[in-house]
A and B are shown apart, each in its own frame.
Chain A
């Protein structure tokens, strides 16, 4: 009976914990639930960008046009079992590509609206010397599109989560696919069978 009383007391008092916050390095990998996370996004972007920059389409474009290719990011569809914010993944890809210095990027369809509004505003309110004229935008040579898919195999407490990211670079001039990249991630997630 004493033992029972002690156990029950511990159960009640266990709720009296305080919140702890620990700062982590943003590049550190922390897997909690097994779902797609920032590390997956960052590592996939790095791998795929490294691949796209090492393929012959860039050299071919530079030799034909005499300038680095200009790329625009189209839609990257989330077809997974999770509510993934593909914007972070797109940002990771853009950052890696721009920082490589081998390609140029133009604003996506969503971003262009704001820029054009600002340009109209400049037409009215900015000085002649600082005003940016309309009709000077650079048209993209290629569009990057893709999708993220998952296959989940699960039993009572174990899951295998398979992610496949497919990206395609399509020539705006003639719809040619100049590069197709694929990255796969496979995770084994084992959930606890017991909890306190």
Chain B
């Protein structure tokens, strides 16, 4: 009888660990699936298919926010603004409700693994969700809705800056706030937001996009801050814009952010005959090559410039969390070691079984907003009525040598212009997918070529990568749309390397 009760006592913790390992395998599987979708998107998976794949996933309660962020983003670039807003709102509410420290989740992460925690969003996620929502509201022609989001983003950024002045500070969101205020004729608030965007970029010693430079010069002049305007003109070597009837704010989302990987170390602790295991998240080398979009208006070509490098922000967020993650991983390893050691003393077989479970259950938390673009770029055009020609070079896919890509592009037929009837005033989306089947095939071939060259590049020495980075600027352009722009209104235009759709909202 005594023997039986001893076995029961020994088995309970093992069973608990086994049960938790089983339950938590779901979280890891969720993330694996989302990460797979992200990797496929970087090659040639259509966004519509990616949305379907994500919608079909069964999501664990701990990963609801991460899932909603990823799905919402795909819906946004796919033009499904209403559903994007629903998912972003869900993610926002979930992240807000998870800001308090959870006793049970900390206990779980200290004993089993980090995926026991609910995904509460990284600082970049917490701010960017407002930015993406503002973008969705804008493209849905809801300026007031966008305004609410940028106000919320301001509160969130101020809150995050309390602990670290650079934490969660996004130049893109500040710039977008400026755009929203400018569209709403709140010029003074717009100028403040543009100044904040400038301050963030300067503190990071990053390049200032010309569209931001021009907005600072124009708005200071408009308000009557002549001295400040002159300082900006001297600093940026630009002048005040000529009078224009409308302004197009162009945003380009390029690429898909790099997925995190697990770094797991297992060692044999000879003294107590126990395997120790520690798993930590890490980002692999950043292979992102910036790819710009081009806008030709009235014979003048504008190029999009990066305002936010999400690759860098994600890495900074992880870096900031690593001390806590590492400390928790070591504490967990110590707890698991102690448990296995005690069980080993009582029963070698059970001890060995428990040891296997502790190794299997040790997985790194690789959850992050993994479908975000690698880079967010901006440009402005000051066209009056006329035609806007929009071009890009397939974002992250254009990693091949310029020669083999240009051959394909030269053969590609011209992109169909948007029929005038579909460009009536008030159209908020101009879906300008290339309509010829041949053209689509050309695109596919082009993407496959690029994918192959990317795979080859992975094996190549890093010097080759550097050469490709240098040649990225020379990558041939692919026309994606001609917009017969007849509206006398301001406009917000979104381009994404994931789709060939152009999203437009007139204000």
Contact = CB atoms under 8 A, between A and B. Distances in A.
B101 interface: yes
Interface stretch (A7-15, A88-96, A122-130, A165-173): A7-15
Contact of A194 (B12, B98, B100, B145): B100
A152 interface: yes
Contacts of B155: 81, 152, 154
Given A155-B162, A191-B100, A1 B148 contact: no
Q: From B19, B100, B102, name the one whose CB has the most chain A CB atoms within 10 angstroms.
A: B100
Residue among B9, B107, B148, B339 with most chain A CB within 10 A: B148
Interface in A1-48: 1-2, 4-5, 7-9, 11-12, 14-15
Interface residues of B, number: 30
A119 interface: no
A188 to B, nearest CB: 15
B147 A8 contact: no
Contact of B111 (A4, A12, A77, A155): A4
A132 B449 CA distance: 71
Contacts of B103: 194-196
B13 A1 contact: yes
Contacts of B151: 80-81, 150
Contact of B12 (A5, A78, A150): A5
Contacts of A14: 104
Interface in B190-213: none
A29 to B, nearest CB: 22
B140 to A, nearest CB: 13
Contacts of A80: 148, 151
B158 interface: yes
A82 interface: yes
A83 interface: yes
A145 B20 CA distance: 58
A157 B104 CA distance: 20
Contact of B159 (A15, A156, A195): A156
Nearest to A9: B16
A154 to B, nearest CB: 6
Contacts of A193: 100-101
A4 B101 contact: no
Contacts of B102: 194-196
B355 to A, nearest CB: 15
Interface string B152-181: 100100110010000000000000000000
A4 B107 CA distance: 9
Contacts of A79: 147
Contacts, number: 69
Contacts of B144: 77-78
B61 A15 contact: yes
B26 interface: no
A14 B105 CA distance: 12
B102 to A, nearest CB: 5
Contacts of A157: 99-100
Contacts of A12: 19-20, 23
Contact of A5 (B16, B23, B99): B16
B473 interface: no
Contacts of A154: 155, 158-159
B162 A83 contact: no
Contact of B148 (A4, A7, A83): A83
Interface in A149-186: 150, 152, 154-157
Given A15-B61, A154-B159, A194-B101, A8 B148 contact: no
A195 B23 contact: no
A78 to B, nearest CB: 6
A134 interface: no
A192 interface: yes
A2 B148 contact: no
A83 B145 contact: yes
Nearest to A159: B155
Nearest to B148: A83
Contacts of B20: 8, 12
Contact of B101 (A1, A150, A152, A195): A195
- Lowest 10 A-B CB distances belong to which pairs? A195-B100, A11-B104, A81-B151, A192-B100, A5-B16, A5-B12, A195-B102, A8-B16, A5-B13, A1-B13
Interface of B: 9, 12-13, 16, 19-20, 23, 61, 98-104, 107-108, 111, 144-145, 147-148, 151-152, 155, 158-159, 162, 339, 342
16 contacts: A1-B342, A2-B12, A5-B13, A8-B16, A11-B104, A77-B144, A78-B148, A79-B147, A80-B148, A81-B148, A152-B155, A156-B159, A191-B100, A194-B101, A195-B103, A196-B104
Given A150-B151, A194-B102, A194-B103, 6 more contacts: A4-B16, A5-B12, A12-B23, A83-B148, A193-B101, A195-B102
